[in-house]
Amino acid sequence: MVESQKLNAVLVDDEPPALERLKRMLEEGGQARAIACLSNPADVESCCKRLHPDLVILDIEMPGVDGVSLARRLAGLSSPPAVIFCTAYENYAVDAFEIDAVDYLVKPIRAQRLNRALERVRRSRLTSRQDWLSARLGDRLLKIPLASIRVLAAEDKYTCVHHLEGQALVEDSLVSLEQRYPETFMRIHRSTLVSRAHLKALFRDAEGRDLVEVDGVALQPEVSRRNLAEVRKWLQN
């Protein structure tokens, strides 16, 4: 499977060996990659807000909070992940499906069973990813279509979206945006992503900096040495 088509998964289990086994099964199956492995359920909600995973594979009986209650909270996020429960107990199945869990896997998990659950998530998530970003402009909330976005630049705790109608701030991090839309945006600097489809030219200014022209905006972002070869390759192809 092409890397950009893989699901981004957050794995949650209070037993480290179980986390390692699940991570290894994902790597071997090839349908998903673990972008975070968490042993503390208290960290899950903030992690999902930061990384916007496609799914969370979640144990149920954990210290401090049960997985069903946690899944209910995740369902209220602006970009809620799909949930697959992974537990040693069968008696939570009814609760799990009442909150629209994709699947309920009983330990020890078989690779074939896990892959079937991931395939259901993949079919639904990869065909329904939102084609806009929710941004704030003063007191206004607005939707910015991905097709109009040209540059995404890190700015303090926010990301500044440079689009055809101007600029706005979103709370999504550059890392999460790069992971959610790898075929749409390309990293050219640790603080900058640009629209692949609108990357127009690469040039060097009088100060020796490598910059790019992006169709539709006057901004000419700098390219880091680390990303220079990839930008050249993209433009040549």
Mean pLDDT calculated for residue range 92-116: 82
Q: How big, in percent rounded to 5, are the helix, strand and coil portions of the chain?
A: 35, 35, 30
Task: For tokens 């040039």, name the residue.
Answer: 203
Residue 127 has pLDDT above 90, yes or no: no
* Sign of the dihedral defined by the CA atoms of residues 58, 126, 159, 236, in that order: positive
pLDDT tens readout for residues 158-190: 999 999 999 999 988 898 888 888 889 999 999
Cα–Cα distance measured from residue 56 to residue 97, given in angstroms and rounded to the nearest whole number = 15
Looking at beta carbons, which pairs linking 156-161 to residues 24 or more positions away fall under 8 Å?
Answer: 161/133, 161/135
Cα–Cα distance measured from residue 217 to residue 211, given in angstroms and rounded to the nearest whole number = 14
Band (pLDDT 50/70/90 cuts) for residue 126 is low
Tell if the pTM clears 0.75, that is, is over it.
Answer: no
Residue ranges and CATH numbers for the domains of the chain are 3-125 (3.40.50.2300), 142-236 (2.40.50.1020)
Mean of all residue pLDDT scores within the chain: 88
